[in-house]
Amino acid sequence: MIPLMQRWRHKRPAVIGLVTVLVFVGIPLVKALADDRTGGNTGQESSPSVSDEQDSKRLMMARCAVCHSTDLIVQQRLTLSQWVKTLNKMERWGAQVSSAEQTQLANYLAARYHPGASGSLEQTAQDSLEAPITEPAIHPGMPEHPEGRPDHGQRLFGQNCVPCHGPAAAGGMGPKLANNPILTDERRFWATVRQGRGAMPAWSAMLNAQEIADIQAWLKTLE
Amino acid sequence: MSHNTRAVSRRAFLGRLLGGAVAAWAVGYLSPETLWGQTSKQEPQGNPGLLTRVTRPFDAETRVEEFASYITPNDRFFVRSHFGPPPPEQIAENVWRLHVRGLVDRPLELTLKDLAKFERVSLTAVMQCSGNGRAFHRPRAPGVQWERGAVGNAKWTGVRLRDVLSHVGVQPSARHLQLLGADRPVSTMTPLFLRSIPIEKAMHPDTLLATHMNGEPLPLPHGAPLRLITPGWMGDACVKWLTDLTLQTEEAKGFYMETAYRYPAHPVEPGTAVPPRDMIPVEAMVVKSLIVSPVSGAALKLGPVTVEGVAWTGEGKVVTVEVSVDDGQTWANARLVGEDAPYAWRQWQFIWNPRQPGARTILARATDDRGQTQPMTSPWNPGGFLWNGVDRVQVEVKSA
């Protein structure tokens, strides 16, 4: 823990610089390339299936609910270009959204929360309740709590958990997880990650059992 | 009632135990709302006076019925911030300081006790979110979709900002006062809520550093221990959890001053993109009224009914409130009643005697001493600020 923290402190300016470069240069570059391949983001969509919807809803939860609840999102009535603009702003502000994810989110949001959609905020919130999020299919034969791989866990933690729990899991908006007794309380750890607790989103929709086990394994290596 | 009390004390306990960030989470944890299922019908923290707009960070508006009271009670007062309150231990009296620096002769660090040495003053003033009524703009503007209740009238007590600034000695080159509070975003990449006001407003004798709201120490959601009060101006200037005052030559830099909370200097076609150089900061309130009773959707009996409400304006004074019950073809003056104080709202009443049953719309519009009147529809602007269209309530008049 101490060496890790020292390393982080030492490298923090460089890391922040790198992240900034990636966000400001990398994402537009990747987007430009992707747009070039697909002939641009026209916002056209083939009728989305139920599973696509579920997937997009999970993505919205994982990427946006880190900083704010999703009721803020579903009350908006924006065009596709306004949604893209909003997503770009949120990415500059720290949302970790890949180019492909941005396209998926923008299309999902513009299809549901557009200027012509129902004006009733109550109705909108009701709609978002109707299709409960289901857990992604677990591969048959996968044990309920698979063996975790710390190296994978470190990467997954960086992608999903750092904004709230901080680098090196030292805590932030969310509690410190390094050395947290919850890591060895199997039942409580899995229940909290899967079902969420308080402001923490339910991650069962976003992370499968292997990924949760990986994160747990990495967290256990921290001192 | 006992349920409310218990919920509140449980929250307070959790807040003390776990700190502010977690307390903000606990609001979501203890109430029945889920991140998905939030609806404006649900009541946050068992509080029937508030409508939640955003669960986290917590944003809620007051139910218009509550405005039957001249003073809006603290626990019914609308709540708005960008990042939620700071952890209580960061603003505890033994650690909290107000830093005054920049273009001043004697930079200072003040405790609450130091502040208490200045003359204590009180005034009653309307506090209103700049985006109050955003939900009525067409085309829709992005942001929290406030309807009618992101406003309230409270008695604010504290010290004159001018007295504190005079004490440190403002240098002649200082043109703007930059304001920063103790609240912080989740991600370090998110800009801070850095704001500024022009030196003229900072030195205005009615601009306060408030420590109390309606006679109580400022509650945490309302900016404890110190918030700026700029009477007559929108809430974007009234920075909460205040810790830093910096005198400088320019407006504050960053998103929340340079980009957000600005509107076109001249009216634009709805939906138009406006070049940044044509945008000016949201400052003074515009004249506005609300119909408090009857409520929207009320069933009324034939015969006289008292229509009542409140009206306010920016730095002037409300002189008339008119009511129309024929879709704006004719208007009749309402009677201004109750307290008449600068910056506070004015209550009004109108006796209406509907003679035929059916669905009816009641309209209200206020006019101030500068000749500002509420338009039918407020001028559109990209941020959806400063809505002051004529207020309307639909009712059903029954025959029996």
| Both tokens assigned to B122 | 């009180």
User: Where are the CATH 2.60.40.650 domain residues in chain B?
Assistant: 288-398
**CA nearest to B244, candidates B119, B106, B114, B109:** B109
Specify the higher pLDDT residue, A40 or B309.
B309
Q: Which of 1.10.3210.10, 3.30.70.20, 1.10.3720.10, 1.10.760.10 would CATH assign to domain A150-221?
A: 1.10.760.10
What confidence tier does B290 reach under pLDDT thresholds 50, 70, 90? Answer: very high
Q: Which fold has domain B288-398?
A: Immunoglobulin-like (2.60.40)
Provide the residue type at A42 as one letter.
T
What confidence tier does B333 reach under pLDDT thresholds 50, 70, 90? Answer: very high
Cα nearest neighbour of A195 on chain B = B34
* Coil/strand/helix, residue B292: strand
B294, B307 contact by CB (below 8 A): yes
Which of B18, B34, B35 to mutate against chain A (most A CBs within 10 Å)? B35
**Does the distance separating the beta carbons of A125 and B140 come in below 8 Å?**
no
Whole-number percent of chain B with pLDDT over 90: 85
**CA B328/CA B326 separation, integer angstroms:** 6
Which of A75, A86, A130 to mutate against chain B (most B CBs within 10 Å)? A75
Q: Model ipTM?
A: 0.86
What is the value of pTM for the model shown?
0.76
CA distances (Å), origin A213, targets A143, A194, A202, A219: 11, 11, 15, 10
Residues B221-263: pLDDT tens digits?
Answer: 999 999 999 999 999 999 999 999 999 999 999 999 999 999 9
Number of CB pairs, chain A paired with chain B, less than 8 A apart: 99
Q: Does B185 touch chain A (CB under 8 A)?
A: yes
CB-count burial class (<10 Å; 0-12, 13-18, 19+) for B44: buried
Q: What is the pLDDT of residue A204?
A: 72
Chain A residues in contact with B38 by the CB 8 A cut-off are 69, 71, 125
Residues B90-102: pLDDT tens digits?
Answer: 999 999 999 999 9
| Both tokens assigned to B96 | 């909290």
**CA nearest to A75, candidates A109, A34, A42, A113:** A113
Q: Can you give the residue ranges of every domain in chain A? A: 19-39+46-130, 150-221
From the CB of residue B111, how many other CB atoms can be counted at a distance below 10 Å? Answer: 14
Q: What is the pLDDT of residue A119?
A: 62
Specify the higher pLDDT residue, B33 or A151.
A151
User: Where are the CATH 3.90.420.10 domain residues in chain B?
Assistant: 1-260
**CA nearest to B314, candidates B345, B347, B286, B280:** B286
Q: What is the pLDDT of residue A44?
A: 43
Backbone angles phi, psi at B29, to 5 degrees: -75, -40
Specify the higher pLDDT residue, B95 or B47.
B95
The helix (run of H) or strand (run of E) holding residue B180 is: strand B176-181
What confidence tier does B289 reach under pLDDT thresholds 50, 70, 90? Answer: very high
**CA B89/CA B280 separation, integer angstroms:** 37
From B37, B144, B185, residue closest to A72, measured CB to CB: B144
CATH 3.90.420.10 correct for B1-260: yes
End-to-end CA distance of chain A: 4
- From first to last of its 223 residues, chain A has per-residue pLDDT tens of 444 444 444 544 444 444 444 444 444 444 444 433 333 344 444 455 677 888 888 888 888 888 888 899 999 999 999 999 999 999 999 898 999 999 999 999 999 999 998 765 544 444 444 333 444 434 445 556 889 999 999 988 887 787 778 888 988 777 889 999 899 888 889 888 887 776 677 777 667 888 899 999 999 999 8
End-to-end CA distance of chain B: 36
CB-count burial class (<10 Å; 0-12, 13-18, 19+) for A127: middle
